[in-house]
Amino acid sequence: MACTKCTTYQTPIRERKADDMAKRSKVDRRKAQAKKKSAQKSGNATTANTRRNDMPEFQLHPEVRKILTVRRGVHQVKLEDLAIPFYIRTHVDPDRASFFRTMRESGEHIDPILVTEETLQVIDGRTRKLGVEQAGAKKINVVFCAEADKETLIAAALLCNAPANASLPSTEGDVLLAMELMMDEGVSKMKIRGYVMQATGFAPTHIRKLMKTIEKRDEAKRIKKARQEVSKEVPMKEAADNHGVTLQKLKDAIAGKKTKVKSANLLDGPKAAITTTATRAGRSFGQNFGTAVKHFKDDEIPEITEVELENFVRHEVMKARDLMALVNQHKDRYESLTGKKLVIRNSKNFRATN
């Protein structure tokens, strides 16, 4: 049997809670409406949200925010106070710097550069910095990030510059330089491969080829240091042990023997992918056409008519021509960039689809 005392007091308590929630919702709605009206009067709907306004107008690579704490807001810093701890590219593109100089002179918006908060080290935006300097400016817009060790800063710079959708994608030499910088800092090979995979999306097999190239470069540096010790009358065995190289390789280097090293090519991966795609497309065309012909030649009841077979072949030819048109666009772009005429040996298939 239910307690009358309990039921007597439960109902008023529930009603009071419901009334309180209704009042709160009304207050919240009034505050939201008032904030919206004030924003509309000021002519900018986003001014009511100061936190959103502090966000920069550009987006960093999502992986950068996982390894670096990036502060909100854009600030101005004197160019003379900035420091460049390392270069993530083998050289600064003068045309790109000139482009930013023109933008600065014309008053166009330039994305802020990424700088450490206390030491003012430039992590991303060296070319923008150079362009602004050439325009005669004294200050530049920056976004601050928290201080970090050199390994993290190099990885963040690689993540900002290496992606294929970057404003100026990295070259083979740029990626190898970043890997070399991290190896000099004592970063493990596994972590280097992970950073490069995150930044570039390269296949693991291709990254291993790049790592072998870096290992060869690192070994050459250590052999050079060992040779310098030998020239100071240090025993060869001791010099080899000091720098972690084999005695035989040190002897070969002193004797002037050259080893043939095939460096990894940044285009090996894309070339292999294109070849695989073309092979699969050719095989698919052949198999589908063979199946269509088989049904067309059925003497009793042909399942495919002559018109259907004709449309299928026409579709194949159109697809091949579309692909050839795309390749020709890339060919024209190469010729415009290099100023050289690209000569391709004609073949029967090439003439048929061109």
Number of C-beta neighbours around residue 268 at 10 A = 16
Whether 66 and 75 have beta carbons less than 8 Å apart is answered as no
Q: Lowest-pLDDT range, 33-37, 43-47, 109-113, 226-230?
A: 43-47
What is d(CA 91, CA 159) in angstroms, rounded to the nearest whole number? 18
Q: When comparing pLDDT for 77 and 13, which is higher?
A: 77
d(CA 26, CA 283): 67
DSSP-based three-state secondary structure for 114: strand
Region 248-274: mean pLDDT is: 72
279 pLDDT band, cuts 50/70/90, is confident
Which has more confidence, 185 or 19? 185
Cα–Cα distances (Å) from 95 to 32, 49, 102, 195, 204, in that order, read 49, 39, 11, 28, 33
Judged on CB neighbours under 10 Å (0-12, 13-18, 19+), 283 is exposed
pLDDT digits (tens, 9 = 90+) for 77-134: 999 999 999 988 888 888 889 999 999 999 998 999 999 999 999 999 999 999 999 9
Which is more confident, 59 or 308? 308
pLDDT of residue 5: 45
Q: Per-residue confidence at 255, pLDDT binned at 50, 70, 90?
A: confident
Q: What is the pLDDT of residues 194-205, one digit of tens each?
A: 998 888 888 888
Q: Where are the alpha helices (DSSP H) in the chain?
A: 4-42, 50-53, 64-67, 94-105, 126-134, 150-161, 172-184, 189-200, 204-231, 236-242, 247-255, 268-296, 306-338, 348-353
Would you state the pLDDT for residue 36? 57
Phi-psi region of 88 (alpha: psi -120 to 50; beta: other; left: phi over 0): alpha
pLDDT at 33 (0 to 100): 66
Percent of the chain at pLDDT above 90? 21
| pLDDT greater at residue 294 or residue 212 | 212
pLDDT exceeds 80 at position 68:
yes
The SS3 of residue 83 is: strand
Comparing 95 with 47, which gets the higher pLDDT? 95
Q: Among 64, 133, 123, which Cα is nearest to 88's?
A: 123
pTM metric for this prediction: 0.56
Contact between 222 and 253 (Cβ < 8 Å): no
Under the banding of pLDDT at 50, 70 and 90, the label for residue 265 is low
- Measure CA 98 to chain center: 23
Q: Give the CA distances from residue 48 to residues 32, 39, 59, 67, in Å, rounded to whole numbers and listed in that order.
A: 10, 6, 22, 31
In this prediction, residue 129 carries a pLDDT of 93
CA distances from 100 to 113, 159, 176, 228, 263 (A): 12, 21, 26, 44, 34
- pLDDT tens, position by position, 125-176: 999 999 999 999 999 999 999 999 999 999 999 988 877 667 777 777 888 8
pLDDT at 198: 85
Q: Which CATH code, of 3.40.50.720, 3.90.1530.10, 3.90.650.10, 3.40.190.10, is assigned to 64-202?
A: 3.90.1530.10
Residues whose CB is less than 8 angstroms from the CB of residue 50 and which lie 6 or more positions away in sequence, other chains included: none
* C-alpha span between 302 and 293 (Å, rounded): 10
- C-alpha closest to that of 86 among 177, 173, 208: 177
pLDDT score, position 80: 93
Q: Which residues does 336 contact at the CB level (< 8 Å), separation at least 6? A: none
Give the percent of the chain with pLDDT over 70. 75
pLDDT at 352: 45
- DSSP β-bridge partners for residue 114: 124, 143
CA count, 13 A, side-chain hemisphere, 266: 14
Can you give the pLDDT at residue 349?
56
Q: From 120, 138, 135, select the one nearest 84 (Cα to Cα).
A: 120
Domain edges within the chain? 64-202, 215-255, 268-353
